[in-house]
A and B are shown apart, each in its own frame.
Chain A
Amino acid sequence: MKLTGTINVVALLVAAAMAIPPLAATEIPPNERRSGYTFMAPDTQAIQDDDTANPGMLWVLDGEALWKRKAGAAGKACADCHNDASATMKGVAARYPAFDKVLGRPVNLEQRVNLCRARHQEASPLAYESRDLLALTAFVAEQSRGMAIAPDATSELAPFVAKGRDFFMRRQGQLNLGCTNCHDDNWDKHLAGSAVTQALPTGYPIYRLEWQSVGSLQRRLRNCITGMRAQSYDYGAPGLVELELYLMSRAQGMPIETPAVRP
């Protein structure tokens, strides 16, 4: 009887310890960082590795066609200013989101495409998660494949990165979780059957098997925020761009994999 009592007390203590939030979350040390790729099954890795099996390449091909297509009142194509994307767009995705001096805030790749459309092509903006916007961003980002992520070091960006970090660390939603509680503290564990992973956005836009489509980093972030039963920001909201900025700073030095495949 006494032994059972002891076990019960131990069980209670363990339960209590689990319910107490950790005092301070610790970010992942650089040498322990792993791309989401390394958490995948070999079959899924094989899809990403073969450009003729990777469905994300369908969007890249579409993007290549759009790059050369004239749009808007100005009758200009992306290629008319930026010429050959394989030279001019190389490394762009590796340093985005970047600071836009006119707006005075950071913009991500999707917003940059739409700003270019408004300012130079005089065309209407492409909707978030539309086929055309995903195709163009996938095509641009693919030009940086294999390059190390190198966030823009402008000091103007620093306060925005800090805000993104705040968001990542802050507990919120009905489940009272912060991003860090899963992605820093429990990335080596599973949530239901899926690997938690480290929140390192190396391959966006990604082809996600669950979506059966390519999707942006913001789509993924909104999924996660809804998953912790918090109120998500709208697409393109400054809060999401700040979070993107912080996540890219976490992934500094890791190679771009666009278009990556994830389960």
Chain B
Amino acid sequence: MASALINVPKKAKRGDIIEIKTLMSHIMETGYRHTASGQLVPRDIITSFACRFNGAEIFRADLFPAIAANPFVSFFTVATESGKFDFEWIGDNGFTETASATIAVE
């Protein structure tokens, strides 16, 4: 039941600096921990996060084992035109999740 929480302002004025906040549900298992019986717990993390605005990539991040569970990524961008943000998370064991949000720029 992976799910994302996205916070993008619904409206903005042209030229405004806006903050985009994303939260993705994921255990981010480091791959360095062992079970009580000594077996290695295999790594299971999100490895990359990207945000596209109207198809063009505006933000990308690589994620590593030291990042906590349920990664929260926030970044700033300039509102230029109305459109759609597409978010994509890719990780181990074929993990992919997408989400999107729209903004109206006046």
User: Chain A: residues with CB nearer than 8 A to chain B?
Assistant: 50-53, 55, 57-58, 61-62, 65, 131, 135, 209, 212-213
- A52-B23, A212-B70 known; A58+B5 contact, CB < 8 A: yes
Cβ contacts under 8 Å, B69 to chain A: 55, 212-213
Name B residues whose Cβ lies closer than 8 Å to a Cβ of A: 1, 3, 5-7, 21, 23, 25, 27-28, 68-70, 72, 74
Distance of A120 Cα from B6 Cα, bound (Å)? 36
> B97 to chain A: closest CB distance in Å?
12
Name the one of A50, A51, A52, A58 contacting B70, with C-beta atoms under 8 angstroms: A58
With A212-B68, A212-B69, A212-B70 as given contacts, are A57 and B1 in contact (CB-CB < 8 Å)?
no
Residue in B closest to A209 when the chains form the complex, CB atoms: B68
Point out the residue from A53, A58, A61, A209 that lies within 8 Å of B21, measured CB to CB.
Answer: A53
Known: A52-B21, A53-B21, A212-B28. A58 touches B3 (CB 8 A): yes
Closest to B71 in A: A55
Residues of A within 8 A of B28 (CB): 212
CB neighbours (8 Å) of B7 from chain A are: 50, 52-53
Indicate if the CB atoms of A52 and B3 lie closer than 8 Å: no
Name the residue on A nearest B5 (C-beta): A52
User: Chain B residues near A65 (CB, 8 Å)?
Assistant: 1
A62 engages B68 (CB within 8 Å): no
B70 near A55 (CB under 8 angstroms)?
A: yes
Q: Which residue of B lies closest to A61 (CB)?
A: B3
- B1/A62 in contact, CB under 8 A: yes
10 A-B pairs closest in CB distance: A52-B7, A212-B69, A55-B70, A58-B25, A52-B5, A62-B1, A61-B3, A52-B21, A212-B68, A58-B3
- Max chain A CB contacts within 10 Å: which of B3, B5, B74? B5
B5 touches A131 (CB 8 A): no
In the bound assembly, the distance between CA atoms of A262 and B69 in angstroms comes to 15
Are A58 and B23 in contact (CB-based, < 8 A)? Answer: yes
Extra A-B contacts (11), CB below 8 Å, given A53-B7, A53-B74: A52-B5, A53-B72, A55-B70, A58-B3, A58-B70, A61-B3, A61-B5, A62-B1, A62-B3, A209-B68, A212-B28
When chains A and B are docked, how far (Å) is the Cα of A61 from the Cα of B3?
8
**Residue contacts A-B, CB under 8 angstroms, 17 given:** A51-B5, A53-B21, A55-B25, A55-B70, A55-B72, A57-B23, A58-B3, A58-B5, A58-B23, A58-B25, A61-B3, A62-B3, A65-B1, A135-B1, A212-B28, A212-B69, A213-B69
B23 CB contacts on chain A under 8 angstroms: 52-53, 55, 57-58
**Most chain A CB within a 10 A radius of its CB, from B3, B6, B27, B28:** B3
Instruction: Give the Cβ gap from A69 to chain B, nearest Cβ, in Å.
Output: 10
Known: A58-B23, A58-B25, A212-B28. A52 touches B1 (CB 8 A): no
Inter-chain CA distance A212–B66, complex, in Å, is 12
Residue of A nearest to B4 (CB): A58
- In the bound assembly, the distance between CA atoms of A215 and B64 in angstroms comes to 25
* A131: chain B residues within 8 A (beta carbon): 1
Which of A52, A58, A212 contacts B6, CB < 8 Å?
A52
Chain A contacts of B68 at CB under 8 A?
209, 212
In the bound complex, CA of A12 to CA of B5 (Å): 58
Looking across the interface, which residue of chain A has its beta carbon closest to that of B26?
Answer: A58
A51, A52, A61, A131 — which one has the most chain B CB atoms within 10 A of its CB?
A52
A58 to B2, CA, bound (A): 8
